[in-house]
Amino acid sequence: MRGRAAAAPAALLLLAACSTGPSLENRGAVTAPPGDSHHLTIGSAGFTESDLLAQMYALLLNQAGYRTSVLTVANRELYEPALESGRIDVVPEYAATFADWLNAKAHGADARPVGSPDLDATMKALRRLAAPRGLTVLPPGRAVDQNAFAVSADYARRHGLKTLGDLGASKLKVRLAAGDECVQRPYCAPGLRKVYGIDITAVDPKGVGTTPAKRAVQEGRDQMVLTTSTDATLDQFGLVLLADDRHLQNADHVVPVVNRSRAGSEGVAKALGRLGDVLTTADLAAMNRQVDSWRRLPADVARTYLKDKGLLK
């Protein structure tokens, strides 16, 4: 779902080199004390939302007295080892997704997932997995980018739908536009049936939040689409999200992850914590819209947002 853009060639070369350096598997547990490097490299995963978060992190850290640079690397298999080694110092991540990724890295692809709808349990698991790798996970913010389901505004209005629970209670038959994996993934068709009692008659394999998927719902060929909670284009298709009122989706709250030995100081945590206390899911969606639909630069959108919220002088 995340990390869609291609990384710059220079960044790929740099991180490919560092990914072959010391790692947890060949150096043992990391016990370095919290550090405070004067220059910090902020990593972006290369898609709009990650770019925005990285730019906001950089601006807030600059204001706190650090020198920063932003490096775009779309592949988590590259940027996570770079974060461990200190070639990257800070990255915006998503709690449940990153917890499951680290868990699979440590225990194999078939490891039982540790991310869940329970934020506290997810954060506990994430920090337990991150700490031996020399990584510190800062407190989660208010913003969440998780799987979400949308219907047409007209469909919602006609049937009195505001939540997925409402849709289940309606007993309407629903054809769902989503990715192929939705047929088996517990957060998708099976979960909608089990948790909400929604009558999913078929999964239309048009992808997650793609234009064809949204048009299928807009035109009534499908009744619902799988997208994300910060999707910036729903209104262009006349779609609205249904609230996940029974918490089917995992707790993918935005979390800053830092290299402990270079950016594990209270100064970094305090600077980034100011954003986490303010930034909401709706704010992220609005900023994504400005970049994706209005063609504004992420750095400009990030600066304007921080100034409007009183976080940047």
Last residue of a domain, one of 188, 211, 242: 242
pLDDT (0 to 100) of residue 13: 38
- Do 75 and 98 sit in the same domain of this protein? yes
- Do 212 and 269 sit in the same domain of this protein? no
Last residue of a domain, one of 216, 242, 268: 242
The CA angle 118-257-130, to the nearest 5 degrees, is 70
Average pLDDT for 191-196 = 98
Residue 31 has pLDDT above 80, yes or no: no
- Do 106 and 47 sit in the same domain of this protein? yes
**CATH label of the domain that carries residue 47:** 3.40.190.10
Q: Are 233 and 154 in contact (CB under 8 A)?
A: no
pLDDT (0 to 100) of residue 32: 54
Residue 171 has pLDDT above 70, yes or no: yes
- Do 123 and 168 sit in the same domain of this protein? no
Residue 204 has pLDDT above 90, yes or no: yes
Total count of domains within the chain: 2
Residue 1 lies in a domain: no
What confidence tier does 108 reach under pLDDT thresholds 50, 70, 90?
Answer: very high
How far are the Cα atoms of 53, 171, 276, 313 from residue 64, in angstroms, in the given order? Answer: 17, 54, 16, 11
- Do 260 and 193 sit in the same domain of this protein? no
Residues 113-129: tens digit of each pLDDT: 999 999 999 999 999 99
pLDDT (0 to 100) of residue 21: 36
Last residue of a domain, one of 242, 268, 291: 242
- Do 42 and 137 sit in the same domain of this protein? yes
Residue 296 lies in a domain: yes
Average pLDDT for 62-77 = 94
Residue 196 has pLDDT above 80, yes or no: yes
Residue 12 has pLDDT above 80, yes or no: no
- Do 81 and 198 sit in the same domain of this protein? no
Average pLDDT for 82-110 = 96
pLDDT (0 to 100) of residue 36: 82
Q: How many Å apart are CA 93 and CA 144, to the nearest integer?
A: 11
- Do 120 and 162 sit in the same domain of this protein? no
pTM, to two decimals: 0.85
Residue 11 has pLDDT above 50, yes or no: no
Mean pLDDT, the chain, integer: 90
Residue 291 lies in a domain: yes
- Do 71 and 60 sit in the same domain of this protein? yes
How far are the Cα atoms of 76, 122, 130 from residue 103, in angstroms, in the given order? Answer: 14, 11, 9
Strands (E), 96-232: 135-137, 147-152, 173-178, 199-205, 224-228
Residues 291-302: tens digit of each pLDDT: 988 999 999 999
- Do 52 and 152 sit in the same domain of this protein? no
Q: How many Å apart are CA 86 and CA 260, to the nearest integer?
A: 9
- Do 138 and 152 sit in the same domain of this protein? no
pLDDT (0 to 100) of residue 33: 65
Average pLDDT for 75-90 = 94
Residue 230 has pLDDT above 80, yes or no: yes
Residue 63 lies in a domain: yes
Residue 27 lies in a domain: no
Residue 14 has pLDDT above 80, yes or no: no
**CATH label of the domain that carries residue 210:** 3.40.190.120
Residue 259 lies in domain: 9-22+32-144+251-308
Proportion of the chain above pLDDT 70, given as a percent:
89
Residue 313 lies in a domain: no
The single-letter code of the amino acid at 149 is: F
Residues 248-279: tens digit of each pLDDT: 999 999 999 999 999 999 999 999 999 999 99
- Do 51 and 197 sit in the same domain of this protein? no
Task: Give the CA-trace dihedral at 246, 250, 251, 255, to 10 degrees.
Answer: -160
